[in-house]
Amino acid sequence: MPFTPADQFFMQYALELAARGRFTTHPNPNVGCVIVAAEQVDLSAGPQQWRDCIVGAGFHERAGGPHAEVFALRAAGDRARGATAYVTLEPCSHHGRTPPCAEALLKAAVGRVVVAMQDPFPAVSGRGIELLRNAGIQVDVGLLSDEAFAVSAAFFTKVAKQRPFVQVKLAASMDGKTALASGESKWITSPQARRDVQVGRAQAGAILSGAGTVLADDPSLNVRVEEFPADVLYFQEQPQAEQLRGSEHLDPALKKSMQAFAPQTGVAPKHVRQPLRVIIDHRGEISPQARIFQDQNPVWIVRTQALDVALPAHAQEIIVAAGADGKVSLPALLEKLATANILSVWVESGARLAGALLDANLVDELILYQAPKFLGSGAKELLTMTGPTKMAAVQEWQVVACQQVGPDLKITMRPDGALAK
């Protein structure tokens, strides 16, 4: 069936809600749900009237906790009967750590369910939709599916490719340099860009780097919520039904960017989910005094063979098969991370590791922070790559976002087909 502007409005709000869980749901997908008293929706009216028809809304907060539909149904109560539920991902139909959401919608006697996209996860795929339809509930699928895919791209990538979603973060001058010839690099980019990087780290399941970066910069490679940009909240409260009527935080223009929704309420996090730090260290060069070891959060030290090197109790030596070059096989490392239920990897490394990932076509998204500075021809290059020998073999990339962060440009690129469904 054709979707109405009101349908788009409610699903866009569900997508905004889904994004609120992006720091805390790993390794689950980000899902939002909005329940609407459909009989009250005047299609000839606009967003002001439509928002007054919302009777419940919610999002998935964290793995093992209630799903989005549960929070939305709790808020709606008896008003869910005959209502329309807008869900960014097919309601689950299996008993996992929580009961099936499709059954919860059935029990609530909703009249219609609008689903942004079918869940590709084998335990769910199509079964939740079938369960609802067999019970006589109208189910319409495919509204804002591209946006729904993007908000949980890491989850879908792992299902499709059996490896994590890989994001490579780079920082460079306008002439594509990362450090002076002496190696000095602090700081090419601005404090605003470095705060923005904390947001990227916080969404990842793991942060990948190499021994060279650790030796040169001694980074912590952790998430520091206190350094987030002022307009980004680590955790936002679930919306309350009584707060929805007349709420001004819904976007009346139906903009397709999730950034159109400004965070409104939040709470200080009691616990910050820290990504696994993964460091490739072939020769055992990293000192136990390195900053990555100075907290109690897990660290993987990756090598192709075991070394007799002492590590802190919270660090673990991980042996990964060597590739043809004798170094750690990057596909094998990503496969091992996927086996450990890591959905996404944020890469902060030197030119060689970043270039090797690009050479192997293992990068799903590249984030470049470019500072308005010039370091000259003798400065360090952005990437060390083998590269193609013919222009016909050059990989095509798409710029999917370009924004100013402080004085710097943040350019987000994806290879053609990286987010293909």
Does the structure show a pLDDT above 50 at 92? yes
Does the structure show a pLDDT above 70 at 237? yes
Centre a 10 Å sphere on the Cβ of residue 349 and count the other Cβ atoms it contains: 23
The pTM for the full model equals 0.88
Catalytic residue among 16, 61, 69, 147: 69
For the 5-153 domain, the top CATH level (class) is alpha beta
Count the helix, strand and coil residues of the chain and give each as a percent rounded to the nearest 5.
30, 20, 50
The mean pLDDT value for 260-271 works out to 47
The mean pLDDT value for 47-71 works out to 90
Domain range summary for the chain, segments of one domain joined by +: 5-153, 162-229+270-415
DSSP assigned state of 80? G
- pLDDT confidence of residue 221: 95
Query: Do residues 216 and 380 touch, judged by C-beta distance below 8 A?
Result: no
Q: Which of 85-99, 130-144, 222-236, 367-381 has the lowest mean pLDDT?
A: 85-99
| Annotated binding-site residue? 416 | no
User: Mind listing the pLDDT tens digit for each residue in 159-191?
Assistant: 999 999 999 999 999 999 988 888 777 889 999
SS3 annotation, 151-186? HCHHHHHHHHHCCCEEEEEEEEECCCEEECCCCCCC
Homologous superfamily, domain 162-229+270-415: Dihydrofolate Reductase, subunit A (3.40.430.10)
| Annotated binding-site residue? 181 | no
- pLDDT confidence of residue 269: 63
User: Mind listing the pLDDT tens digit for each residue in 131-164?
Assistant: 999 999 999 999 999 999 999 999 999 999 999 9
| Annotated binding-site residue? 414 | no
| Annotated binding-site residue? 314 | no
- Clarify whether 69 is annotated catalytic: yes
